[in-house]
Structures are given as C-alpha cells and as structure tokens.
Amino acid sequence: ATLAVNASGGKPIPDTFFGIFFEEINHAGAGGLWAELVSNRGFEAGGPNTPSNIDPWSIIGDESSIIVSTDRSSPFELNKVALQMVVLCDSQDGNICPAGGVGVYNPGFWGMNIEQGKKYKVILYVRSTGPVNLKVSLTGSNGVGELASTDIILSESDVSDWTKVDTTLEANATNHNSRLQLTTTRKGVIWLDQVSAMPEDTYKGHGFRSELVEMLADLKPRFVRFPGGCFVEGEWLRNAFRWKATVGPWEERPGHFGDVWKYWTDDGLGYFEFLQLAKDLGALPIWVFNNGISHNDQVATSSVLPFVQEALDGIEFARGDPTSKWGSLRAAMGHPEPFDLKYVAIGNEDCGKRNYRGNYLKYYSAIRHAYPDIQLISNCDASSRPLDHPAHMYDYHVYTNANDMFSRAHIFDHALRNGPKAFVSEYAVTGRDAGKGSLLAALAEAGFLIGLEMNSDIVHMISYAPLFVNANDRRWNPDAIVFNSYQLYGTPSYWVQQFFRESSGATVLDTTLNTTSSSSLIASAIAWQNSADEKNYIRIKVVNFGSDTVSLQISIDGLDPKSLQLSGSTKTVLTSANVMDENTFSQPKKVVPTPSRLESAAGQDMNVQLPPHSFTSFDLL
Ligand code: AHR
C-alpha cells in the first residue's frame, strides 16, 4: 500500500476539535471526580419523608445503647432531613457503652481512600440537648485500625442550636477501604447533618480528585461537554439536573436522585464546579441543559417559558456581570470574573420527541436575543438532510459494533456542507466487540476519528462517551477511564484519544491512500506546532484494522528540504497480542501506546510495516 502526503496546503482543523464529555454516570462524579469521601452527607438520599433510610450510613452499637433515626430538623431549608442519635449508654453509668463508643459510620463510595501523611478536612453540623463529646475518626472498613481521630468537645450552650464543626485529620497510615466514624460514650440526644470529609489535596484546590483530572489534562481537551446525557434529561422531569439546585454553599444544596443511572448525588459537583473544571483544563464549557423534556414526560411548548428563563439565568450565572442577579451568586462562590461559556446544547437526544422542535425554538430565540454570540446546538442530525430549525451545530451520537464504527469513518464525506456544523459529542464501540474496553473497539474508533479529522471542515467537535466508570458501579460499558477508590487506568479507547489531542487547531493535509485492502486501512496526516518545543511536526496516523501485516510506503511532498531534520522523529503504536485484550487494575498497561525513535525525517520516503490490528502514529520533525 502507498500513502502520499501533500505537506503544502491543507485545511485548518477547528481549535475546538477535540474535547471530552463528562456525564454523571457510573459514579463518575459522586464517588469519582468529585473528591468528597462521604456518601449521602446530608442524609437526604432516603427521601424527604422521615424516618428515612440512611444508607450507606450504618449504626455502631445495638438497640440497648443507641437508637438512630431521621427527622426534618435540619437548619438547611432545601434539605430538611437530619440524623438523630439517641444515646442510651454512658461511660459514667450502669449502661456502659461498648469499647469505642456508639454512633454511625459512613463507608464512602465503596471505601474511602485514606493515605498516610495526607490531611482530610471534616465538616459537620451538630446540635444536642446537652454537652457533646464526639469522636471523629477514620478507621479500617470494620472499624478496626484507626488512621486518624479527634475529639470534638462542645458545651451544652455551644450545641443548643445547630453549630458547624470544622476539623482536619492527618492520616498516620494508608487504607484504601476506610470509613468515617462519629462516635460517643455519652448519654444524650445528638442531631447531625451535612457531614463532609474532603482530602485537603485536590486539583488546583477546587475539590477534584487530582489523578483523575490529570488523566483528562493529558488529553488536552479544548472543551468539556457536561453534565450529561441522559442524566440531564432524567427518566422523569422531577429528577432531571436543574442547575439552580446545584449552586451556592454545598450544605444548602438539596442533592437529587439521578433516576436514569439510578443513584443519588449530593451535587457537590454542581454547575459552578463543572464550569471551574473546564477552566482548570483550559477548555471551553459546553453546557447541556434540559429543554423541558425527560425520557417519560414533557413540558408543553406553551408552558416552557419558565424553563427557558432557567436556562437564561444559568447563562447569566456563568458569564453575567458580578453585579447581576445570578452573576453575583457566582462571584459569591469565589469567581467574580465570568466563565467563558460560548456553547450550549438544547437538550440531549430529544430530537424525535413531540415537543422538541417547539421547545427548541423558544430557547433558540430567547438565547439568541439575550446572548447573540452563543452557539446553539440542536439534538437533530443534519448530516444528511437540512434541519427544519436554525442551529449553529447539531449533535451526532453513535454507539455501535466495531465494523460499523470503522465504516462510519466516511459518514461525513457526503454530509451537507452549508448548514450547521457537526458535534460528534458521543461515540463508542459497544456490545460484544467492546467488552469492558477492548483493543478492537479502540481501533474501530481510531478509524472513525481519522475520518472525522478528514471531515473537520464540517465536524467541528468530537468527544467519546462515557468518560469515567467507578468499577463498583458499572452502569455502562465500556468507558474511557476506569477507577476505584485509589486505582485508575485508561482503556484502549482512552489511549486512542491521546493520538488526537494535537489535532485541535492543526492543519489536515491532503493524503492519497492506495491499497488493495482498502477496507481495512485508513490514514490521515496533520501538520501542527508543538507548543513545548515550538517545532513543527507532521503526524501521520494509520489504522490497520485487518488481521495481516501491511507494508506501507509513505511519501511526503511539498516540504522545504531545509526544514527537514533526521533526528527527533518518533513512531507510536497501539496494538496487542489479541484484539480483545483489555487493560485491568492488575494490568493497567497491557494495551497502551508504545513510542520508539524513527530514523527518518519528513520528506523522505518511508517503508513501514503496520502490524495486524494496530494504530500507528508517525511524528515527523
Ligand atoms: O453515554 C451514555 C448515554 O448514551 C448518554 O447519557 C446518552 O446521551 C446516550 O444515550
């Protein structure tokens, strides 16, 4: 096979081309990216009617020593449920408390990762009928093996009304499966609410789990689409993501049950934090909001205006003047300068639904009027037929098998060129071909992305989905990044994305691929400048989707011979012994790209061997 690359000319790839899509799915945020260690910190997950289930909190002690319940006495108006502990035992009287005391513990999200030498900030709200002597400790999963503790001693007058306790624990040992205990050996009635434990060390001090954000930063995303997907829609509108309930002081947020992915979130990772995350990654935020449509119910277009106002308020929150109504809340949360919100998506996968078009048009005209520079994204696919409504971009989602994904590399070759631009905001190989993240899936996606890169005059943004999975709650397979309380790895699909991180803002070059096995080979070439060394590179990416080694003759025309250098060029290959190979916690690097030096420079003819089932990138200096 031969590949001819024309290095002169080419077409610019949009600066926004490659990004990420974060959805609160698989405990990606709660128990994942958001570093909060306590699950159900406000005791609201059991619902507003008390007494309620306090899961995953559990009781330490038996009925003779403690009675635990909930009531609606919280000081916080939007989350009224609080925990009540009636302590019957006392170290001073006949009913002596068991060793270690009685109380409650929280195991976090399948165990808290507590690390030696690290500090953890614990905040809780407490009230009592008498003096309080409360031990706050981090222990092993069975309550044994204390890692850190402190005693909170408060007088009766201190706690006659709700009081905030703020303390820092430093761990003297490491345990990846720890729990937070709140115990006492003193008789009385104690109420607790809004119990938080955060590692002091988070990404840029903003509450994100550092090593997970670093995986994202390594992708150099130019945008972050958030907070979902189906999470935005909800099975029912009452459970949809509503931004106003996720901002302001964390203690005051009601939290909500995400009924599509079936778990509660305290909404510590709220609208503000998503905007902050995008900023911290140097990426543009793309806010997907509910457009009055869930999976099972819809707001009639005639009644949608309050929802439209909610979206307008959300935009004002993100970028309004700090003196504006919602901009002032953002400023009060510590971010007076506006966030760079330039894109919003009106709904998710709702195109076919009865009220979509009507609702969409209401949002479209209101947002265009108030914020003429904002780019609006429709849910309706405009690749093969024009939209019946105005939009700057349209969403394109694809979940399919490997062969179909690979063949979709050409799906945009004949897409309409004069309408809105395409945002391929969700793509992944799923099902048997993908397992929990196979090489096969990743190669098919690589082929698809090469096709999108060559069509980047019309495809302006791409992002894989889903981004994260907590291995303890796999709601969706596969995902790009797998983690538990302390481990993480990228699936081959994650690593494929790294090959495209330099494409944003690069130039896609003209290429001609001649091959007898055309159905299993695809290639593209870009010219880009590395900001680290300010050198110009040509990157040629080739997927060999077939089961035979392919010999490829690469020639590059149109380069100034003076610009050629012999050293510094590299080849990076993603392959493995078996096409269904996956990474795991025990073998996190089984299928990862392998770089090597290449003794050729751009402009020279190269003869390269492409292993079966492989993705290779040649970076020529
Ligand atoms: O990525 C998982 C889900 O797939 C998203 O929530 C939804 O948009 C799509 O159906």
Contacts of 334 (CB under 8 A, 6+ apart): none
367: nearest Cα among 337, 336, 391, 348? 391
Q: Which has more confidence, 540 or 93? A: 540
The response to whether residue 476 sits with its C-beta less than 6 Å from ligand 1 reads yes
The pairing of beta strand 343-346 with beta strand 375-378: parallel
State if pTM tops 0.95: yes
Q: How confident is the model at residue 510 (pLDDT cuts 50, 70, 90)?
A: very high
What pLDDT sits at residue 59? 98
444-449 average pLDDT score? 98
CA dist 473 and 476 (Å) reads: 9
pLDDT tens-place string over residues 29-74: 999 999 999 999 999 999 999 999 999 999 999 999 999 999 999 9
Instruction: Say how many Å lie between the CA of residue 230 and the centre of ligand 1.
Output: 5
Which protein residue has the closest C-alpha to ligand 1 atom 6? 229
Q: 277: helix, coil or strand?
A: helix
Note whether 118 and 168 are within 8 A (CB): no
Q: Sign of the C-alpha dihedral, residues 541, 545, 549, 550?
A: negative
Is the predicted pLDDT of residue 609 greater than 90, yes or no? yes
Is the predicted pLDDT of residue 566 greater than 60, yes or no? no
Is the predicted pLDDT of residue 415 greater than 70, yes or no? yes
Is the predicted pLDDT of residue 563 greater than 80, yes or no? no
The response to whether residue 288 sits with its C-beta less than 6 Å from ligand 1 reads no
The response to whether residue 230 sits with its C-beta less than 6 Å from ligand 1 reads yes
**Of all atoms in ligand 1, which is nearest to the CA of residue 465?**
1
Is the predicted pLDDT of residue 321 greater than 60, yes or no? yes
521-544 average pLDDT score? 93
The response to whether residue 267 sits with its C-beta less than 6 Å from ligand 1 reads no
Tokens of 400: 């399919």
**Of all atoms in ligand 1, which is nearest to the CA of residue 349?**
8
Angle at 282 between CA 276 and CA 286, to 5 degrees: 65
437: nearest Cα among 613, 581, 615? 581
Report the topology of domain 58-199. Jelly Rolls (2.60.120)
pLDDT tens-place string over residues 364-383: 999 999 999 999 999 999 99
248-261 average pLDDT score? 98
Instruction: Say how many Å lie between the CA of residue 616 and the centre of ligand 1.
Output: 29
What value does the mean pLDDT of the chain take? 96
**Of all atoms in ligand 1, which is nearest to the CA of residue 21?**
1
Q: What letter would DSSP give residue 309?
A: H
CATH number 3.40.50.2000 is the correct assignment for the domain at 20-35+205-498: no
Which protein residue has the closest C-alpha to ligand 1 atom 9? 229
Lowest mean pLDDT among 85-94, 315-324, 455-464: 85-94
pLDDT tens-place string over residues 113-139: 999 999 999 999 999 999 999 999 999
What pLDDT sits at residue 527? 96
The response to whether residue 348 sits with its C-beta less than 6 Å from ligand 1 reads yes
Instruction: Say how many Å lie between the CA of residue 509 and the centre of ligand 1.
Output: 33
Q: Could you tell which of 426, 430, 463 is best to mutate to test the pocket of ligand 1, judged by most ligand atoms within 8 Å of the CB?
A: 426
Q: Which position has the token pair 């809780």?
A: 124
What pLDDT sits at residue 93? 82
CA dist 497 and 318 (Å) reads: 29
Residue 254, Cβ neighbours under 10 Å: how many? 18
Q: What is the largest CA-CA distance in the chain?
A: 93
Q: How confident is the model at residue 517 (pLDDT cuts 50, 70, 90)?
A: low
What pLDDT sits at residue 565? 61
CA dist 540 and 617 (Å) reads: 5
484-493 average pLDDT score? 98
The response to whether residue 23 sits with its C-beta less than 6 Å from ligand 1 reads yes
What pLDDT sits at residue 285? 99
Identical fold at 2-13+507-620 and 58-199? no
Q: Sign of the C-alpha dihedral, residues 221, 468, 392, 511?
A: positive
Tokens of 469: 């999975």
The response to whether residue 228 sits with its C-beta less than 6 Å from ligand 1 reads yes
Backbone angles phi, psi at 408, to 5 degrees: -75, 0
Q: Could you tell which of 350, 377, 399 is best to mutate to test the pocket of ligand 1, judged by most ligand atoms within 8 Å of the CB?
A: 399
Query: What is the architecture of the domain spanning 2-13+507-620?
Result: Sandwich (2.60)
Which protein residue has the closest C-alpha to ligand 1 atom 3? 229
Tokens of 231: 């999470």
With pLDDT > 90 as the criterion, what percentage of the chain qualifies? 93
What pLDDT sits at residue 518? 62
441: nearest Cα among 497, 525, 358? 497
Q: How confident is the model at residue 544 (pLDDT cuts 50, 70, 90)?
A: very high
Q: What letter would DSSP give residue 239?
A: G
Q: How confident is the model at residue 334 (pLDDT cuts 50, 70, 90)?
A: very high
Tokens of 279: 């900023």
Omega of the bond leading into 199 within 30 degrees of 0 (cis): no
Is the predicted pLDDT of residue 569 greater than 80, yes or no? yes
The response to whether residue 426 sits with its C-beta less than 6 Å from ligand 1 reads yes
Tokens of 46: 């059991």
Q: 331: helix, coil or strand?
A: helix
Is the predicted pLDDT of residue 396 greater than 80, yes or no? yes
Tokens of 31: 């128990």
Q: What is the DSSP string of 37-104?
A: --SSTTS-TT-SSSS---TT-EEES-TTTEEEEEES--S-TT---EEEEEE---TTSSSPPPTT-EEE
With pLDDT > 70 as the criterion, what percentage of the chain qualifies? 98
Omega of the bond leading into 56 within 30 degrees of 0 (cis): yes
The pairing of beta strand 163-170 with beta strand 119-128: antiparallel
CA dist 27 and 41 (Å) reads: 15
Q: How confident is the model at residue 338 (pLDDT cuts 50, 70, 90)?
A: very high
CA dist 454 and 460 (Å) reads: 11
The response to whether residue 70 sits with its C-beta less than 6 Å from ligand 1 reads no
Note whether 466 and 479 are within 8 A (CB): yes
Spell out the alpha helix ranges (H) of 93-144: none
**Of all atoms in ligand 1, which is nearest to the CA of residue 348?**
8
Q: Could you tell which of 22, 23, 260, 423 is best to mutate to test the pocket of ligand 1, judged by most ligand atoms within 8 Å of the CB?
A: 23
**Of all atoms in ligand 1, which is nearest to the CA of residue 399?**
4
Instruction: Say how many Å lie between the CA of residue 229 and the centre of ligand 1.
Output: 5
Is the predicted pLDDT of residue 482 greater than 80, yes or no? yes
Which protein residue has the closest C-alpha to ligand 1 atom 2? 466
Please tell me whether the interface predicted TM-score (ipTM) of this complex is above 0.90: yes
Is the predicted pLDDT of residue 600 greater than 80, yes or no? no
Q: What is the DSSP string of 413-475?
A: TTS-SSSPEEEEEEEEE-GGGTTTTBHHHHHHHHHHHHHHHHTTTTEEEE--S--EEETT--S
Instruction: Say how many Å lie between the CA of residue 399 and the centre of ligand 1.
Output: 9
Instruction: Say how many Å lie between the CA of residue 466 and the centre of ligand 1.
Output: 7
Angle at 180 between CA 192 and CA 117, to 5 degrees: 130
Give the residue extent of every domain in the chain.
Answer: 2-13+507-620, 20-35+205-498, 58-199
181-191 average pLDDT score? 97
Q: Could you tell which of 22, 239, 476, 493 is best to mutate to test the pocket of ligand 1, judged by most ligand atoms within 8 Å of the CB?
A: 476
* Burial of 348 per CB tally in 10 Å (0-12, 13-18, 19+): buried
pLDDT tens-place string over residues 197-233: 999 999 999 999 999 999 999 999 999 999 999 999 9
Q: How confident is the model at residue 603 (pLDDT cuts 50, 70, 90)?
A: low
CA dist 553 and 550 (Å) reads: 10
* Burial of 444 per CB tally in 10 Å (0-12, 13-18, 19+): buried
Omega of the bond leading into 227 within 30 degrees of 0 (cis): yes
Instruction: Say how many Å lie between the CA of residue 428 and the centre of ligand 1.
Output: 10
Residues in the chain: 621
Backbone angles phi, psi at 265, to 5 degrees: -130, 135
